Structure 1
Amino acid sequence: MNTVTNARYDGLADWYDDRFVIGGEPHQPGLLELLGEGSGPCLDIGCGTGRNFETIRASGREVVGLDYSSDQLRLARTRTDGPLMVGDAAALPFPDESFGTVMVMWISTDVDDFGDVLREATRVLRPGGVMIEYGVHPCFNGPHVVYNDEDGSRTAHTTYRQPGWHEPAPYWGEGGIRQHIGMSHVPLADYLNAFLSTGLVLERFIEPEGPGVPHALAVRARKRA
């Protein structure tokens, strides 16, 4: 994970929680259904302030949260009694095959190598276990995209083909996550190839309900037994 960029989440936890968590829907669209019923510990990689802990519990699983920001975890602690730890998504502090379920939440734009994160998540997943990845839609959400508030459309710049970290652009807007944190980009082909590199069986893709132009893309995959 990019140390400089993710250190910026420290000191922003209250702003982040107020903007993205407090008053939001109890379950992100489609996430509970994609996760399905289960049991045992579920590792929530990039758990932030605990936005998805209620969903994990509703599925029958137990929360284990990991985030690079100790400030985010300060607020996450108010939403669970389960284990929480500071850690790097690309170097997870767990032995092989530790979890029956792993969630990778909204971090594709925060890491240097999305493939490394998925491969680490696969490493700690037990045979037959489920991985859920949920986050930025590679085509319609990212540092190459302009949000058109008047009609809900989006404009994609030719920088779509530029992977990795992007310099701030005039169309990023003021006060959003991009201005606060910066943003990396994973083009669609790289995104899909990252999953193929894990050897997981891809079971389902969804573009969760929301704006007319999809904001998020989510995947359910399973480790071969």
Structure 2
Amino acid sequence: MRARYDGLAEWYDERFVADAPPHQPGLLELLGPGSGPCLDIGCGTGRNFDSIRASGRSVVGLDFSIDQLGRARLRTDGSLLHGDAAALPFADASFDTAITMWISTDVDDFGAVLREAARVLRPGGVFVTYGVHPCFNGPHVVYEEDGRRTVHPTYRQTGWHTDLPWWAEDGIRRRIGMSHLTLADYLNAVIRSGLRVEYFEEPAGQDIPHALALRARKP
């Protein structure tokens, strides 16, 4: 099965990662200080490796795209693995920290990813997920030039969306599509994972939130 980002890794990295700030807004605060390996589930080209290291942890990256991992290797000498985020190749209770960054829209079953993250965490382990805000960022939302957003009455149409007329011709969504969860589906997936949420965040950067993030812990 071909990964959705294979063939796009160089373009994606140069457009979204190469010149980006070293830390995404609020990520270091959500992670908090720690030690030991941090599993970056869906690590892509290594956008968040600097943040993991700055928190005191070491990088273990996993992605389904071989092409993405090839670019990620330029950003770490740590462990990188090819694998499915919904079927992690690790034993139970293998990590003290795990993160998922911007992958809820790129996987078929985000709930399965969360359950796998919970499985490989040790009791007391920290989990951070950070990505698309289900209400204000999705296939139902159009970003207007004046900063407003137009929301279409398709918010409750979950699952994969492709080739919507308001998507940019040179954008990532036009190239691979986008999976959508409602806010309720997203939060219920977190609850069903068994993780205990400690803190929610709508990271700074835009007046209308673009991202939703949370820190949770394995009981």
Q: TM range, normalised to the smaller chain?
A: over 0.9
Moved more, 7-16 or 27-36: 7-16
Shift of 1:144: 1.1
In the alignment, structure 1 residue 186 sits paired with structure 2 residue 181: yes
Aligned residues between the structures: 219
Residue in structure 1 matched with residue 81 of structure 2 by the alignment: 85
- Aligned AA for 2:59? V
In the alignment, structure 1 residue 201 sits paired with structure 2 residue 211: no
CA distance in 2 between counterparts of 1:128 and 1:8 reads 33
In the alignment, structure 1 residue 103 sits paired with structure 2 residue 99: yes
Deviation per CA, 1:172-216: give whole Å up to 9, x if none: 121111011111101100000001101211000101011111111
CA distance in 2 between counterparts of 1:219 and 1:8 reads 26
Q: Which runs of 5+ in 1 are unaligned?
A: none
Residue in structure 2 matched with residue 219 of structure 1 by the alignment: 214
1:41-120, aligned counterparts within 5 Å?
Answer: 41-120=37-116
Identity of aligned residues (%): 72
Runs of 4+ with deviation above 6 angstroms: none
Q: TM-score, normalised by structure 2?
A: 0.98
Shift of 1:105: 1.1
Q: Which runs of 5+ in 2 are unaligned?
A: none
- Aligned AA for 1:205? F
Retained in 1: the 8 A contact 2:162–2:173?
no
CA distance in 2 between counterparts of 1:54 and 1:172 reads 31
SS of the residue corresponding to residue 104 of structure 2 reads coil
CA distance in 2 between counterparts of 1:214 and 1:26 reads 20
CA distance in 2 between counterparts of 1:82 and 1:167 reads 35
Moved more, 173-182 or 97-106: 173-182
Q: Calculate the aligned-residue CA RMSD, in Å.
A: 0.9
CA distance in 2 between counterparts of 1:139 and 1:35 reads 24
Shift of 1:8: 2.9
Retained in 1: the 8 A contact 2:162–2:176?
no
SS of the residue corresponding to residue 56 of structure 1 reads helix
Residue in structure 2 matched with residue 163 of structure 1 by the alignment: 158
CA distance in 2 between counterparts of 1:68 and 1:115 reads 17
- Aligned AA for 1:217? L
Shift of 1:167: 3.1
Residue in structure 1 matched with residue 24 of structure 2 by the alignment: 28
SS of the residue corresponding to residue 170 of structure 1 reads coil
CA distance in 2 between counterparts of 1:212 and 1:130 reads 29
- Aligned AA for 1:88? D
SS of the residue corresponding to residue 173 of structure 2 reads helix
Residue in structure 2 matched with residue 39 of structure 1 by the alignment: 35
- Aligned AA for 1:87? G
Shift of 1:17: 0.6
SS of the residue corresponding to residue 75 of structure 1 reads helix
- Aligned AA for 1:192? L
In the alignment, structure 1 residue 133 sits paired with structure 2 residue 129: yes
Q: TM-score, normalised by structure 1?
A: 0.95
Deviation per CA, 1:78-136: give whole Å up to 9, x if none: 10000001110000000000000000111101111111110000000000000000111
In the alignment, structure 1 residue 14 sits paired with structure 2 residue 24: no
